[in-house]
């Protein structure tokens, strides 16, 4: 009887190695991602890079990555949580959020993020797009800084 080399390898080491790897997987604790609600007080970039937002966030900032990422790495107050549902914050490179700022908010119940990028005083990017209504809890911090944007964020 001829034994093929790959059968010998599988018989000799494959099964015990698979069992060992399976046992290690069972013994390794599962690390769950923190909820966006757990990001209170952290910089806005923590929300932008959270798995619930990261893919959508990266896709909408195309063409504006350098300015957006500059804002995300600027010193800013931490994220605010409201009503155990909304997480939001402002960040601005240069210190004047009303002129050159980035607002990012997330509604956990709707699983939707809201973004406003101000460049030289103009809203150059709004997610959802212009005229789509924002929840009052996320519109309030934007309108508190820029009341003239009421039409822009609904």
**Cα–Cα distance between 36 and 6 in angstroms, integer?**
49
Q: Is residue 122 part of a domain?
A: yes
- Helix, strand counts (H, E) of the chain: 7, 5
Q: Is residue 10 part of a domain?
A: no
Q: Is residue 66 part of a domain?
A: yes
Number of domains making up the chain = 1
pLDDT score of 25 more than 70: no
Q: Which domain holds residue 68?
A: 36-153
Span 75-122, pLDDT tens digits: 888 999 999 999 999 999 887 899 999 999 999 999 999 999 999 999
pTM of the model: 0.77
Model confidence at 3, pLDDT cuts 50, 70, 90, reads low
Q: Is residue 87 part of a domain?
A: yes
Alpha carbon dihedral 53, 151, 134, 68, in 10-degree steps, equals: 20
């Amino acid at each position: 009887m001829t034994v093929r080399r790959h059968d010998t390898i599988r018989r000799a080491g494959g099964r015990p190695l698979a069992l060992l790897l399976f046992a290690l997987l069972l013994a390794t604790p599962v690390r769950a991602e923190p909820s966006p609600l757990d990001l209170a007080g952290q910089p806005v970039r923590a929300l932008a890079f959270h798995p619930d937002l990261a893919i959508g966030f990266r896709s909408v900032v195309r063409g504006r990555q350098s300015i957006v990422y500059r804002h995300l790495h600027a010193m800013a107050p931490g994220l605010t949580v409201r009503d155990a549902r909304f997480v939001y914050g402002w960040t601005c490179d240069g210190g004047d959020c009303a002129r050159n700022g980035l607002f990012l908010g997330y509604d956990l119940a709707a699983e939707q993020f809201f973004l406003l990028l101000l460049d030289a005083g103009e809203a150059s990017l709004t997610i959802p797009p212009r005229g789509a209504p924002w929840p009052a809890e996320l519109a309030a911090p934007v309108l508190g800084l820029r009341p003239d944007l009421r039409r822009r964020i609904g």
